Structure 1
């Protein structure tokens, strides 16, 4: 990759990245993410192909909840308005990490949604 396409990082950021990469747990996590890359792409395609027009996201939410449970998230449920919530408790006293996503699409009901 040529230099002009490389992200620009400050020296401080580069040092922080190097420090993080030196941590065995971080390296293990990055390696796992690489190993599971195709699996995650497949899951994205699977979710994308479940029809979910606005206000009719129930089936996609159900599939997403199943994927979370299959990934080992022990506490997965839907709230009263259909949001899927998965909770995986950490092992320390650090801050809470919240990840959110929007699962509906703007395609009207019946639109073919095959990923290509």
Structure 2
């Protein structure tokens, strides 16, 4: 639950940055807030993964045993997105264009 405010801040910052003219200080500041909040989410996610790997998970209840595969796959996709999106953003970061694009 600690990452929810950071996610909210990141989304709001990237949505409002389009309201400012390109090259303005306000647009740059909104993008910097987005990056900072995104890195905070990434740090919290990595910390959570380390804690999760270091402890035993709680025993599953028999009532939810039938849904364990679906739950595990949903959580796997969520973790993949939460960790993968910042790395993809860093890969595309220089000028907002992929380093491997043909337009340059």
TM band (smaller chain): under 0.3
What TM-score, normalized to structure 2? 0.26
What TM-score, normalized to structure 1? 0.24
Q: Which has the higher strand share?
A: 1
